[in-house]
Amino acid sequence: MSLSLQPVVLCGAVSPEREVSLRSGRAVAGALPGCRLVELDRNELPEWLDAARHLVIPVIHGDYGEDGTVQAELDARGVAYAGCEVASSRLCLDKVATKNAMRRAGVPAIPEVAFAGAAKPTAAALMAQLGPQVVLKPADKGSSVGLYVVDGEVAIAAALAQIPASGQWMAERRLLGREMSIGILAGQAMGLVEIVPRKGVYDYQSKYTKGSSDYIYPAPVPAELTARIQSAAEALFLACGCRDFARADLFLEPDGQFYFLEINTMPGMTETSLMPKSASCAGLDFPALVQRMTAPVFARAAARVSRSA
């Protein structure tokens, strides 16, 4: 493209997911010729970033990158950037709000109990609504940070006791089906990836430690059911106002019923990440995926330059 703007990959920043963000950013930068890799040490944009000279590919997981903050700062400077905008980023980081969007769009979602850390329900109350096997997690964090998978009143009570009296949390009935993920590129769902964690729970360590989980892709799911899951993922992408790319996570029960858990606006791009695996099912290797993920921001930047000429 004959566009003079230099692509800048932003990664790192300060969050529980900093190390994963650094790995993702380095991988993306390695697949994007001519880009500048910037590893942030603070949650703020570099002073030198200039709308007239740069466009941005943010690869910042968790706080700052996925809550709409960096997107708002880029908008304020007039800098073109890849991925979801402010409103959809904020919506999708809030798992409860995302589930409400799912239900409005007719996408199956697991029932949940939302609560503040300062007003925790009792274990008995959760069991009465969700059953004895429960998943507890923050309502506004990613990458399985703060995840508790517990069974029975004693274990649920112990997990609740460990939850800090701050932040927003949620509890869900634990599903015992097959855990899956699907990448969405420009509104089109790609391949289904089945996740088989070797220790039984797909937590932070299982996600980001090489060899901790097995992956099957494309997942062995009948074509008709795969098509229904893909259609639901695309409806979720649209309902949440997503742009360019995202990744949706779901469970498939033995009876063929599926439930979406969330949609991730800043999917991991490390060697163990799910988005590249999903893309490979559609015939895209890692460099081709990065090119497709970032192509729209080049087009938007070119259109902006053309309008201002």
Let me know if 264 is a catalytic residue.
Answer: yes
Backbone torsions φ then ψ of 274, nearest 5 degrees: -80, -35
CB 13 within 8 A of CB 42: yes
Catalytic residue among 25, 83, 142, 268: 268
Catalytic residue among 12, 15, 17, 191: 17
Catalytic residue among 64, 208, 217, 259: 208
Let me know if 249 is a catalytic residue.
Answer: yes
The token duo for 43 is 């949650």
Catalytic residue among 172, 179, 262, 278: 262
The token duo for 7 is 């692509």
CB 64 within 8 A of CB 70: yes
CB 207 within 8 A of CB 143: yes
CB 278 within 8 A of CB 193: yes
Rounded CA-CA distance 279/198 in Å is: 23
Rounded CA-CA distance 213/198 in Å is: 5
In which region does residue 273 sit, left (phi positive, over 0), alpha (psi from -120 to 50) or beta (all else)?
A: beta
Rounded CA-CA distance 196/211 in Å is: 11
In the sheet that 36-40 helps form, which strands lie side by side, from edge to edge?
Answer: 36-40, 6-12, 54-59
Catalytic residue among 217, 249, 278, 280: 249
Catalytic residue among 21, 88, 143, 213: 143
CB 232 within 8 A of CB 261: no
Let me know if 143 is a catalytic residue.
Answer: yes
CB 32 within 8 A of CB 8: no
* Residue count (the chain): 309
Catalytic residue among 88, 264, 273, 280: 264
Let me know if 247 is a catalytic residue.
Answer: yes
Let me know if 262 is a catalytic residue.
Answer: yes
Catalytic residue among 18, 90, 173, 247: 247
Q: Which residues are identified as catalytic?
A: 17, 143, 208, 247, 249, 262, 264, 268
